[in-house]
Every structure is written in structure tokens, then in C-alpha cells.
């Protein structure tokens, strides 16, 4: 499908927390409390059902209660892989080596065949249904999806997936431009470069209908990146952008398209 591009209308900002799991929530909690203090700022939490095979949500009732309170507060939960770990056989080509050992070690859905992806995503959907959590979206770890994963998503009761700069409505994979900021925060020089790139991108996207802020647990472990995200969120809100979840933003676009 073609790229629908930018649309006119109310401008928004989406705050998206990646890799949400029992072991990462302590990193996020102070930041989430600071966001809550700003007022009505709903977030999208990308939840991993069993992070690195060590944190199955079914065994963490207190954390499930945290997620349920976030839903009541207006946040959206989306499915973020299942294990967030690349367990496939070792890479065999230079491209695979780069994508799975340099770009990331956590591209869980990068090599999966259609049936493997289908079974794993269905397990995640079943977990959400078991705990009565609304579910519209799936985001692959590191945004990496095999063709088998794409074919699997066409068969499942989900509304969207995404990559760093786009949403894709399911099952059609209609592409919608939705630019996003993300940092590489593991070292001081990476944080410095990430800040420069982010400021340039924000300038380029000042007229974009939405801007996504894609946060990771490592961002929360460094004052520079943590403070940047909070200050940027405040700035975008002060500029008149309205905070929305992914689900709500896509629903608004659908309503606008029907009214046109």
C-alpha cells in the first residue's frame, strides 16, 4: 500500500515506552510519575509477555496490577514481541550478522517463519485476553519483522503494527507516516549524538501531525536522556500538541477519513 503522508488537523504527540516488563518497570517508574504530574498525558506501553524468558507476566500479579491501573488511567497496552530475545540459529550471512549482532541482539521476529510468528503472537494475544486487557497493536522488538511475521499479522485480530517512522493498518498494511524519535543511550557519546539528531528531526517535523517519542529502559538510567525526554514532552505539549495513545490517534485518523 502507498504512504498516506501527513494529514491536516490537530497536532499530537505520542509517548511510547518500549520493553515494559517486571524487570524494567523500576527504571520507568520515576519517569512515569513525573509524566503523571504534568496532567493528562496518556502513554502507550509496549508490553513483553515473558521478557528474556525470565519474567512471565502470569507469575507477577503485582506488576499486572500496575498495568491494570495504567489502563484505568487512560494508557494503552500493546503487544511487544513475546520474549524480546533472538533465539534463532546463528546468522549465516553478513547482512544477518549485522542486523542480529550489531544493530540488535533482540530482533525476535526478524527470522521467524509464518507459522512460528503466528503461534508466538497468538500466545501474546491469549495472555492479553486472559487478563482482559484491550489489545489493538503489535510492535516487533527492534521493529524487525520477517516476511513470515507480516503474513502472520494479516491473519490476526489486530489493528496496527509500526516501524520507527510509520504505522501500518492491519490486515492491509496501509502505511501511514508517523515520525518518531529514538535514542541510542548506552554511552555518553551516543547520547550526545542522539540529542543532536533528535533536535534536527524535531525541527524538520515541526508541522507533522504527530511526533512519537520512543523511550527505552536504558534511557531512564542516564540523567541526560531521561531529562531530555521529559523536557521534550513538555515542550511539545506547550507548543499545542495533544498527547494521544497509538490506538486513539489511529481512530481519529479513521474518523477524519470517513468524514472527508
Q: How many CB atoms lie within 10 A of CB 192?
A: 11
| Among 201, 229, 252, CA closest to 41 | 229
What pLDDT does residue 258 have? 60
pLDDT at 180: 97
Q: What is the pLDDT of residue 198?
A: 97
Give the pLDDT of residue 259.
52
- Residue 211 pLDDT: 98
Q: Given this model, what pLDDT does residue 87 score?
A: 74
pLDDT computed for residue 84 by the predictor: 79
Domains of the chain, first to last = 12-259 (3.20.20.370)
Note the pLDDT of residue 13. 98
Q: In the prediction, which pLDDT does 82 show? A: 95
pLDDT in tens, the chain (260 residues): 444 444 446 899 999 999 999 999 999 999 999 999 999 999 999 999 999 889 899 999 999 999 999 999 999 999 999 997 667 556 566 666 444 554 455 668 888 999 999 999 999 999 999 999 999 999 999 999 999 999 999 999 999 999 999 999 999 999 999 999 999 988 999 999 999 999 999 999 999 999 999 999 999 999 999 999 999 999 999 999 999 999 999 999 876 556 54
Cα dihedral: 6, 196, 44, 137 (round 10): 60
Amino acid at each position: 500500500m502507498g504512504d498516506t503522508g501527513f494529514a491536516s488537523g490537530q497536532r499530537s504527540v505520542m509517548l511510547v515506552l518500549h520493553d515494559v516488563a517486571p524487570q524494567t518497570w523500576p527504571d520507568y517508574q520515576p519517569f512515569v510519575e513525573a509524566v503523571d504530574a504534568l496532567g493528562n498525558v496518556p502513554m502507550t506501553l509496549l508490553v513483553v509477555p515473558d521478557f528474556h524468558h525470565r519474567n512471565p507476566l502470569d507469575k507477577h500479579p503485582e506488576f499486572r496490577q500496575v498495568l491494570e491501573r495504567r489502563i484505568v488511567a487512560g494508557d494503552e497496552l500493546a503487544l511487544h514481541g513475546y520474549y524480546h530475545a533472538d533465539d534463532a540459529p546463528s546468522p549465516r550471512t553478513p547482512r544477518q550478522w549485522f542486523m542480529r549482532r550489531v544493530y540488535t541482539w533482540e530482533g525476535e521476529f526478524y527470522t521467524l517463519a509464518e507459522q512460528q510468528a503466528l503461534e508466538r503472537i497468538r500466545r501474546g494475544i491469549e495472555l492479553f485476553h486472559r487478563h482482559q486487557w484491550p489489545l489493538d497493536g503489535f510492535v516487533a522488538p527492534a521493529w524487525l519483522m520477517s516476511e513470515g511475521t507480516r503474513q502472520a499479522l494479516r491473519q490476526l485480530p489486530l489493528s496496527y503494527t509500526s516501524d520507527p517512522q510509520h504505522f501500518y493498518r492491519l490486515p492491509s498494511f496501509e502505511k501511514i507516516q508517523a515520525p518518531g524519535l529514538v535514542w541510542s543511550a548506552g554511552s555518553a557519546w551516543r547520547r550526545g549524538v542522539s540529542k543532536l539528531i533528535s533536535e534536527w528531526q524535531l525541527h524538520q517535523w515541526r508541522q507533522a501531525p504527530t511526533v512519537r517519542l520512543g523511550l527505552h529502559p536504558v534511557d531512564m538510567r542516564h540523567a541526560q536522556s531521561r531529562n531530555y525526554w521529559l523536557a521534550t514532552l513538555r515542550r511539545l505539549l506547550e507548543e499545542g500538541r495533544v498527547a494521544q495513545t497509538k490506538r486513539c490517534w489511529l481512530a481519529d485518523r479513521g474518523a477524519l477519513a470517513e468524514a472527508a
